[in-house]
Structure 1
Amino acid sequence: MGENDERARRRLSRSSPKWAIVAVLAFAGLCSSFMFTLVVPLQAELPHLLNASREDTTWVVTITLLVAAVATPISGRLGDMYGKRRVIIVLLALLIVGSTIAALSGSIVGVIIGRALQGAVTGVVPLGIAVMRDALPPERLGTAVALMSATMGVGGAIGMPVAAILAENADWHWLFWLAAALGVIGLLLVVVTVPEDVLRSSGRLDVIGAIGLAIGLTGILLFVSRGAEWGWTAPLTLTCVIGGIVVLLVWGWYQLRTKDPLLDLRVAARPAVLFTNIAAIGMGFALFASNVTFPQLLEMPVGSGSGFGLDMVGASLIIMPAGLVMMVISPLSGWLERTVGPRPLFTVGAVAIVLAYVFVLLWSSEVWHIFVANLLIGVGIGFTFAAMPMIIMRSVPANETGASNGLNALFRSVGTSSASAVMGGVLAAMSVTVDGVAVPTRAAFDVCFWLAIVAGAVAVVLSLFIPRQRSAEQHPSLPS
């Protein structure tokens, strides 16, 4: 970091109360993660509410995942170039516009457009982490990053019961009005509290690179998220995956040769960044595996032999504490990151997730078994999600933190999308009919838990290959 950038960073760190910056950015992160569980209570009723086929209404969920995955690394690069605060404001504005469109719409087209715009707001989390790196001293950075990372799980965990209660007691449009209101509050708080950032990278926006990345990722994610429904060997499915891979290969070749690439792949290929990003797929998979399996296990009828017969609100209240645990342990995550470093913290978190799924594989006959396992997953995700941004930021230049953390978020999105598709396919394929309704068997859940164990174990192994790094106070890529 140059002398001028260092002086600019010091001015930035003095411009606003640090606790206020962290709190506002965390609130924005909560708003973004809430978008993923916003329509969960409505999924079964969407065909009736929108007068559309079930296949068409699945796009209400899929489109948000696709846009989030594509927009996150692009918004990170835009933040590095034009200002992270400015891009965060734009993303929150898109959330407001998208929520309003969906709230005013009675057709599936309007809701899908609104949900697509809502997906773009996911980029505020890696951008918020990059702002914290610019504005906070090293001794506070780890805890703040842990809190910001925790919002990715907390928002969804808290939002699920809120959305369920609202869906049961009010018109479904109010879910989107609530999202719009949260966006307005978040935008105003960011405008008032978060200062203009001054650490920016030079160059121009790589429009060709952005388009190529969007096309390639869309092909891959369509294969992952819709392959089970379309058929894994169907022509459309194979076209998506093969086309996506080819486009990404050409995109990578172009990125290595263009002057101002969207993502510096040479930085992304550094061992610490590379292993962390690949491990992030496993962590995203393990997180979303619980989001798919645990609610179904809790809500399935008791007569199925595996379920507990809870309603949506009751199941959500069992799942919610895991998100709260992620937030509560963020100070501990920050202290551990400063004390032992982010790599051991990542390893411990991944081990905790593996143990959680082993526990539920052995004991899942009582509601409290699911509750305990989910709490342990909350601890594991809290540690790993806190460690990953710190590993990334210790390994990349300061002016590339937005894009690099956005890329890490992208890999997590690939993991969550994969979990959604794989778990959904397993549960659908291994089902029996109870009272005229197809429900997953106990063996289906066991297979899902084994898959999550494997994903977590791979992340543990990869974490051991991440090079050891110096402390945050000494590393040249972090402010001192």
Structure 2
Amino acid sequence: MSVTVLPPARVGRFSIAALGVLALALGTLQSVVEPALPQLQSELGVSPAEGALIGNTLLITGAVVAPVAGKLGDRYGGKRVLVLLMAVVSAGGSLAALAPNLPVLLVGQVLQGVMVGALPLSFILVRKHLSSAASRLAIGLVMALFTGGGMVGTLSAGPISDGLSWHWMFALPTVAIVVTTAAVARLLPHDPPVRADTGIDWPGVVLLSGTLLVFMLGLVKVTGSGLPPLAVGALALVVVALATGWVVVERRAASPMVDLRMLARPALWHSCVLTFVVTAAFGMVAFLLPQLFALEADGYGFGLGTTEIGLLLLPGAVAGAVSDSVGGVAARRLGLRAVLVVGAVVTTATTLALASLHTAQWQLALAKALTAIAAGVASTALLTRAATAVETEDTGIATGLLVVTRVIGVAIGGQVGGAILDAGADRTGLPAESAFATGFVVAGLVAALALLVVRVTKKGTQA
């Protein structure tokens, strides 16, 4: 690969500000769905499992775009690719804003998912055009504004949907993205592409996204439609075939989307398994809590609107953002094994307690904060561990593998939570209280698996 090295260029504060505001708008667009999900299910007339797809399709796209975003930026120029990705996100946001039904909204969410590629591209551009010290400040600013956007989305979804309609939850951030993308295109200097010796693993991208989508759609159909055994078997075979094809492609690709050969290293496959378990348990909790907040039923549920749900979820969002930033420090000071054990114990105890203690709003809000802290610290510690367990030139591959695993874990956890509620629906179609209890117990058991994995991989998780 021939690399063109640019000297650090002076870029104006307005350029960095435009990148930061873009990150703020993207974080807002990404996060509006969580507190509004019960409202979307009600207005679109869909089940909890179908509703879970609304947020999960965005995560799936993000999981497959994240590993290739940097390669696309190198090959075609970071600024050019960033602007093109934002055009796709804007199209997705517009489609979601105009969506008359679930299928159209899902397509919009799929397109919005490419926003995940914006952050690494922004970091690459900042690093190319600023000195090392200045780039660290700029990257911190962009990341902080993206996290802040998540909180803005959580808080603003309710007032916007109540005062206007849920369509405007997608429309307003999309308008901000269009405006700030235009500013970035005008203000930020161009960066030349790099001639690459290997191509981009498009077959891997297609097969991984296909595997995840078929799996999640299969969960919806199996739990909601009562498919016959032959149809269930056929779906399972399709998922296995797609997953097998993806593994074969990744092992043979010259430049794979996810280098599965890295999994031969114990430190990495241990980290991947633990990351998946931790984030899957959190994904279930993150899906179940808004559903219980919104449900209005005799003896359980609270009948809350989107605004109230957003306020109650905000402490968890703040806790998650803080814990993401301290995971690596905690692992260095306390040891990775201790961090993982404490995180698994906290999540297990919290979710099992929720199975019987879910009669007060503060109980659910506290549970969200505790599980967010546990998941954030543990997954960030594992990400840091993976980055330091490989050679410097393999850092991007190793961390990309963990990021993909983290996103997939959250998505599958949420989808399983939706499937449990569908399977436990009463005659009116509403989830029974026992369905929520079952979901919390299952989340606790999944979190407890982390303790077993830590025990089995004792040497690999020592400090």
Task: Assess same fold via TM > 0.5.
Answer: yes
Which deviates more from structure 2 when the two are superposed, residues 453-462 or residues 225-234?
A: 225-234
Q: Which of 405, 423, 435 is 2:417 aligned to? A: 423
SS of structure 2 residue aligned to 1:440:
coil
Q: Which of 457, 460, 465 is 2:448 aligned to? A: 457
Change over 3 Å in CA distance of 1:289–1:93 after alignment to 2: same
Q: Which of 454, 464, 467 is 2:460 aligned to? A: 467
Q: Paired residue for 1:46? A: 44
Q: Tell me how far apart the structure 2 counterparts of residues 183 and 63 of structure 1 sit (CA, whole Å).
A: 20
Normalising by structure 2, report the TM-score. Answer: 0.77
Say if 2:20 is the partner of 1:37. Answer: no
Q: Paired residue for 1:229? A: 224
SS of structure 1 residue aligned to 2:200:
coil
Q: Tell me how far apart the structure 2 counterparts of residues 290 and 257 of structure 1 sit (CA, whole Å).
A: 37
Q: Indicate if the aligned counterparts of 1:354 and 1:452 stay in contact, CA closer than 8 A.
A: yes
Change over 3 Å in CA distance of 1:342–1:194 after alignment to 2: farther
Structure 2 residues without counterparts, runs of 5 or longer? none
Query: Which digits, 9 at most, give the CA deviation of each residue in 1:428-450, with x for residues without a partner?
Result: 333446xxx44433332222111
Q: Tell me how far apart the structure 2 counterparts of residues 446 and 53 of structure 1 sit (CA, whole Å).
A: 18
* Aligned residues between the structures: 456
Shift of 1:295: 1.9
Mapping 1:339-378, distance limit 5 Å? 339-340=333-334, 344-361=338-355, 363-378=357-372
Q: Indicate if the aligned counterparts of 1:13 and 1:137 stay in contact, CA closer than 8 A.
A: no
Change over 3 Å in CA distance of 1:288–1:305 after alignment to 2: same
Which deviates more from structure 2 when the two are superposed, residues 315-324 or residues 338-347?
A: 338-347
Shift of 1:376: 1.0
Shift of 1:323: 0.3
- The code of the aligned residue for 1:368 comes to W
Q: Indicate if the aligned counterparts of 2:22 and 2:177 stay in contact, CA closer than 8 A.
A: no
Change over 3 Å in CA distance of 1:38–1:236 after alignment to 2: farther
Say if 2:305 is the partner of 1:305. Answer: no
Q: Which of 236, 240, 246 is 2:235 aligned to? A: 240
Say if 2:206 is the partner of 1:211. Answer: yes
Say if 2:434 is the partner of 1:443. Answer: yes
Q: Tell me how far apart the structure 2 counterparts of residues 335 and 202 of structure 1 sit (CA, whole Å).
A: 37
Q: Paired residue for 2:157? A: 163
Q: Indicate if the aligned counterparts of 1:232 and 1:238 stay in contact, CA closer than 8 A.
A: no
SS of structure 2 residue aligned to 1:467:
helix
Overall identity of the aligned pairs, in %: 24
Which deviates more from structure 2 when the two are superposed, residues 415-424 or residues 392-401?
A: 392-401
Which deviates more from structure 2 when the two are superposed, residues 207-216 or residues 58-67?
A: 58-67
Mapping 1:24-423, distance limit 5 Å? 27=24, 30-31=27-28, 33-34=30-31, 36-37=33-34, 40=37, 41-47=39-45, 63-75=57-69, 77-79=71-73, 87-104=81-98, 110-124=104-118, 148=143, 158-184=152-178, 187=181, 202-231=197-226, 234-301=229-296, 304-333=298-327, 335-337=329-331, 339-340=333-334, 344-361=338-355, 363-396=357-390, 401=395, 404-423=398-417
Change over 3 Å in CA distance of 1:225–1:173 after alignment to 2: same
Q: Tell me how far apart the structure 2 counterparts of residues 27 and 88 of structure 1 sit (CA, whole Å).
A: 15
Q: Indicate if the aligned counterparts of 2:215 and 2:239 stay in contact, CA closer than 8 A.
A: yes
Shift of 1:118: 1.0
Query: Which digits, 9 at most, give the CA deviation of each residue in 1:161-181, with x for residues without a partner?
Result: 422221121144322221313
Q: Tell me how far apart the structure 2 counterparts of residues 208 and 219 of structure 1 sit (CA, whole Å).
A: 16
Structure 1 residues without counterparts, runs of 5 or longer? 471-480
Shift of 1:455: 1.6
Q: Tell me how far apart the structure 2 counterparts of residues 329 and 353 of structure 1 sit (CA, whole Å).
A: 14
Q: Tell me how far apart the structure 2 counterparts of residues 328 and 403 of structure 1 sit (CA, whole Å).
A: 25
Change over 3 Å in CA distance of 1:197–1:404 after alignment to 2: farther
Q: Indicate if the aligned counterparts of 2:60 and 2:209 stay in contact, CA closer than 8 A.
A: no
Which deviates more from structure 2 when the two are superposed, residues 82-91 or residues 452-461?
A: 82-91
Normalising by structure 1, report the TM-score. Answer: 0.75
Change over 3 Å in CA distance of 1:414–1:377 after alignment to 2: same
Q: Indicate if the aligned counterparts of 2:20 and 2:141 stay in contact, CA closer than 8 A.
A: no
SS of structure 2 residue aligned to 1:45:
helix
Change over 3 Å in CA distance of 1:447–1:108 after alignment to 2: closer
Q: Tell me how far apart the structure 1 counterparts of residues 50 and 349 of structure 2 sit (CA, whole Å).
A: 38
Q: Tell me how far apart the structure 2 counterparts of residues 329 and 60 of structure 1 sit (CA, whole Å).
A: 26
- The code of the aligned residue for 2:44 comes to L
Query: Which digits, 9 at most, give the CA deviation of each residue in 1:124-154, with x for residues without a partner?
Result: 456668889999989x98xx899959967x7
Change over 3 Å in CA distance of 1:203–1:171 after alignment to 2: same
Query: Which digits, 9 at most, give the CA deviation of each residue in 1:270-320, with x for residues without a partner?
Result: 22222222222223322222222212222333x521223333322221122
Change over 3 Å in CA distance of 1:369–1:31 after alignment to 2: closer
Which deviates more from structure 2 when the two are superposed, residues 23-32 or residues 320-329?
A: 23-32
